[in-house]
Chains A and B, each alone.
Chain A
Amino acid sequence: MAALAGTLELLIAAPVPFIVVLVPLTLATAAYGLVSLVSTLVWGRVLFGIRLELVHPFLFVIAVPSAVIGLGLLGLLLASTFVLYRNANALSNLLGEPVWLITGMLVPISLLPGWVTPISWVLAPTWGVRAIREAALGGDPLPAILMCLGLGLVYTLLAALCLRHFERLARARATLALT
């Protein structure tokens, strides 16, 4: 959006490292998902009488923000590659359903072709969803929480590398501005 709004050049020209600007942006955007989470739980209760009984309420409170952070940092990694890609919006339109599918949010990964499983392992939302599910329904959510946060850290490092590289390329090719 910054590219479309014409603010990308200003953000990159600022003395603050671009990733420092980008991390809160992506985390804040991912945090909007909490509104959807809460409203879905409320609608489930009001319309369908679904009661939420948490097996590990304390870990649930940790698992939810961990999943949000994991999603946000995955977004950061994708955003870092979008600095070069002029049609980022079109690509982001493409990603919703694959992420829902591959991370096992609604369909068990075991139902998908075998080659999908390793891909799901390197996606933080897979572990975030698993953590939330196990915190709510029973199990040991702690390893999943740690995997989610660990992958988030890896994404941040990769994003920092990508940003440095792609930012330099975009400057050299004069492709920062879309407006």
Chain B
Amino acid sequence: MTALRIFFIGGGISYRALFNWISPWHYIPTMLGGTLFVLIFFTYLGRFTDVEDEAFFVVGNAVYISSISCVYGSIMAIANERFFGTLSPLLATPANRLALFAGRALPYIANGILVSAFGFAMSWLLLDFDPPVSSLGPLALVVTAGVVSCTAFGMFLGSIGLRARDVFFIGNLAYYVLLLFTGANVPLDVLPGWMQTISSALPLTHAIEAAREVVAGASFRSVAGLVGDELVVGACYAVAAYALFRLFEAEARRRATLERV
């Protein structure tokens, strides 16, 4: 019960504490406005290049823009504990580490789903994107899987941020790596083999492919394999993130470097 409380309530409180500076004036331009323009920009670029049909770019980018919450938010959720000087008191508590760590992911998952849903809604409103109504349920499941997986990836990067000094460099790099490698804008089959290999190990790649199939009329069952692959990728990052978190925690305690920024 205590672990569940730490997972849900602790996760919510930590989000409010670490993002106490956020207001609608920050949230709307950054999370909704900025991501909407990413979506519109790449859709128009796709329309111009005519590499694929418009739905290819709309769906790819509407899923991809969730990464701004999943990657940057998750990195800040972990690394900012160190920068704000709250890491030591946090780790001094006897709280279940898994609940503590995983609970931090929840707000970013919710945010990522909201951003992606906003992207799809605005695409319908502004870009003549009109998916069949029957695809919306499966699409929501696929997006959720992608967001969960991407958040695990963000937590993995955030754990690296417990050691790395420039955590935003990691975030920026990851954001653009995902843009290039997940197939959001570049069809995977035109990428060189080594890039396709990297793509398959990144979050969102399988979710974007599944989302495109669902929007094209496929059933959820027919994309279940892709969703499963997406969740497996996410699970791998989650395990790696937790392992790194524990490793760096133990090392920082041993070397007394918890508060070094």
Q: Which residues of A contact B (CB under 8 A)?
A: 86-87, 90-91, 93-94, 96-98, 100-101, 106-108, 111-112
Complex partner residue of B45 from A86, A98, A107, CB under 8 angstroms? A107
Contact A101 B26 (CB under 8 A): no
From 21 to 57 in chain B, residues with beta carbon under 8 angstroms from any chain A beta carbon are: 23, 25-26, 29-30, 33-34, 37-38, 40-41, 44-45, 47-48
Complex partner residue of B26 from A87, A97, A111, CB under 8 angstroms? A87
Contact A93 B44 (CB under 8 A): no
Contact B25 A111 (CB under 8 A): no
Contact A93 B48 (CB under 8 A): no
| B contact residues around A90 at 8 Å (CB) | 25-26, 29-30
Q: Which residues of B contact A (CB under 8 A)?
A: 23, 25-26, 29-30, 33-34, 37-38, 40-41, 44-45, 47-48
Q: How far is the CB of B29 from chain A (nearest CB, A)?
A: 4
Complex partner residue of A97 from B25, B29, B40, B48, CB under 8 angstroms? B40
| B contact residues around A94 at 8 Å (CB) | 29-30, 33-34, 37
| A contact residues around B41 at 8 Å (CB) | 97-98, 100-101, 107
Contact B30 A111 (CB under 8 A): no
Q: How far is the CB of A49 from chain B (nearest CB, A)?
A: 15
Complex partner residue of A87 from B25, B44, B45, B48, CB under 8 angstroms? B25
State in angstroms the CA–CA spacing of A113 and B183 once bound together. Answer: 27
**Besides the known contacts A86-B25, A101-B37, 4 further A-B residue pairs in the complex with CB atoms under 8 A apart:** A90-B30, A97-B38, A101-B41, A111-B44
Q: Is the interface of A mostly helix, strand, loop or mixed?
A: helix
28 contacts between A and B (CB under 8 A): A87-B23, A87-B25, A87-B26, A87-B29, A90-B25, A90-B26, A90-B29, A90-B30, A91-B29, A93-B29, A93-B30, A93-B34, A94-B29, A94-B33, A94-B34, A96-B34, A96-B37, A97-B34, A97-B37, A97-B40, A97-B41, A101-B37, A101-B41, A107-B41, A107-B45, A108-B48, A111-B47, A111-B48
Closest 8 CB pairs of A and B: A97-B37, A97-B41, A87-B25, A94-B29, A90-B29, A90-B26, A94-B33, A107-B44
State in angstroms the CA–CA spacing of A90 and B29 once bound together. Answer: 6
Q: How far is the CB of A146 from chain B (nearest CB, A)?
A: 28
**Please, which residue of chain B has its CB at the minimum distance from the CB of A91?**
B29
**Please, which residue of chain A has its CB at the minimum distance from the CB of B48?**
A107
